[in-house]
């Protein structure tokens, strides 16, 4: 799977199609398209195994699709305990125009669903990492697998001052925003500078990533898919529901391996953003 994804990354530019493909039956992790003339209606991916994430509530429309690349943060209180998730940091890039079937810019379903793995292994995390040697992911055959403590970002300044657009071969994927947990530990997606949108959410719905999902640089597994509704704190702007899907990496090691303290694990995932029409 990983070798195939690198081929996809190398040939991503040629994967852009001039016209929508014929609709295909839905498969696990494979988006399907609904065509009305030249209009393509993206469909939220599914894992193929119950329970799935619930569909967005009636009245909500898709506002954006992003690929997020960054780190999941954890802490271990004792060496024989379980790691506790403490947040995440990621830079978000706009991939809505790459959705399969989008005229002129859409990718094949295989290439689109391979973006999380391709970016996790093909790009350095776009964060201000404390340990610069942790930036390179290595390769699936020789991953740059370091201690979780090596992947942490600068807590005072985790994001670059001006995050650059993402380059995938001849394709430029525009910077869209950032993802972090605020002082109240609320997952936050700040898309205000590019799209005028912000989501402040809470974790409610969980679906396990498919068994075939990319286990990541530490080979610990792909983080769960999540349904994240607005947390009613009154902070959201134009967004009320976020889905994390098509995940790669990000699962913590056992505390007996990582040791007591804080650590981070590189990950990538798609984020689908919904709001009122």
| Cβ partners under 8 Å of residue 161, min gap 6 | none
Dist CA 35 CA 42 (whole Å): 9
Q: For the segment 139-188, what is each residue's pLDDT rounded down to a tens digit?
A: 999 999 999 999 999 999 999 999 999 999 999 999 999 999 999 999 99
Residue 215 phi/psi, 5° resolution?
-80, -10
Sequential DSSP letters for 88-156: EEEEEEE-GGGSTT-TTTPPPHHHHHTHHHHHHHHS--SS-BSSGGGS--B-SSSB----GGGGPBPSS
Query: Which secondary structure element, helix H or strand E, spans residue 181, and what is its range?
Result: strand 175-181
| Residue-wise pLDDT tens digits, 13-26 | 444 433 333 233 33
- The predicted model gives 31-40 an average pLDDT of 56
Contact 226, 203 (CB under 8 A): yes
Predicted pLDDT at 39: 81
Helix, coil or strand: residue 257: helix
Asked if residues 225 and 29 have their Cβ atoms less than 8 Å apart, the reply is: no
Work out the mean pLDDT of the chain and round it to a whole number.
90
The pLDDT of residue 251 = 99
What local confidence, expressed as pLDDT, does residue 10 receive?
53
227 DSSP assignment: E
Confidence of residue 38 (pLDDT cuts 50, 70, 90): low
Could you give the CA distance from residue 113 to residue 29 in angstroms, rounded to a whole number?
Answer: 7
- In angstroms, the CA 162 to CA 141 distance is 33
Q: Which residues contact 39 (CB under 8 A, 6 or more apart)?
A: none
Question: CA separation (Å) from 78 to 21, 150, 220, 262?
Answer: 53, 19, 19, 11
Residue 267's closest CA among 90, 138, 64?
Answer: 90
Helices (H), 171-241: 192-195
Helices (H), the chain: 2-10, 12-15, 109-113, 115-122, 192-195, 255-258
pLDDT at position 168, please? 92
Look at 2-16, 48-62, 81-95, 194-208 and tell me which has the smallest mean pLDDT: 2-16
Using the predicted structure, report yes or no on whether residue 87 has a pLDDT greater than 80: yes
Main-chain phi, psi angles of 161, to 5 degrees: -60, -35
Say which residue the tokens 């597994």 belong to. Answer: 221
Query: Checking DSSP bridges between strand 33-36 and strand 39-42, what pairing results, if any?
Result: antiparallel
Quote the pLDDT of residue 65: 99
Domain boundaries, the chain: 2-16+62-276
Instruction: Tell me what pLDDT residue 9 has.
Output: 54
- Whether 209 has a pLDDT exceeding 90, the answer reads yes
What pTM, to 2 d.p., does this model score?
A: 0.89
């Amino acid at each position: 799977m990983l070798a195939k994804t690198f081929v996809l990354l190398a040939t991503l530019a040629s994967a852009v199609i001039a016209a929508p493909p014929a609709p295909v039956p839905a498969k696990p992790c494979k988006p399907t398209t609904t065509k009305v003339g030249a209009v393509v209606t993206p469909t939220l991916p599914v894992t193929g195994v119950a329970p799935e994430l619930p569909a967005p509530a009636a009245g909500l429309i898709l506002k954006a699709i992003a690929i997020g690349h960054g780190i999941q943060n954890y802490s271990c209180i004792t060496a024989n305990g379980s790691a506790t998730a403490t947040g995440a940091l990621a830079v978000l890039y706009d991939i809505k125009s790459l959705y399969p079937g989008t005229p002129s810019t859409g990718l094949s379903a295989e290439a689109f669903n391979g973006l999380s793995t391709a970016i996790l292994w093909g790009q350095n995390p776009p964060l201000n990492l404390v340990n610069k040697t942790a930036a390179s992911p290595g390769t699936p055959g020789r991953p740059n697998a370091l201690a979780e403590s090596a992947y942490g970002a600068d807590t005072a300044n985790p994001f670059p001052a001006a995050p650059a657009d993402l380059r995938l071969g001849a394709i430029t994927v525009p910077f869209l925003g950032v993802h972090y947990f605020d002082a109240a530990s609320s997952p936050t997606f700040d898309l205000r500078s590019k799209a005028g949108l912000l989501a402040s959410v809470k974790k409610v719905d969980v679906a396990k990533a498919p068994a075939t999902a990319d286990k990541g640089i530490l080979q610990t597994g792909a983080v769960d898919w999540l349904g994240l509704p607005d947390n009613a704190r009154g902070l959201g702007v134009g967004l009320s529901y976020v889905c994390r899907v098509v995940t790669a990496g990000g699962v913590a090691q056992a505390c007996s391996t990582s040791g007591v303290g804080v650590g981070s694990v590189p990950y990538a995932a798609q984020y689908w953003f919904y709001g009122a029409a």
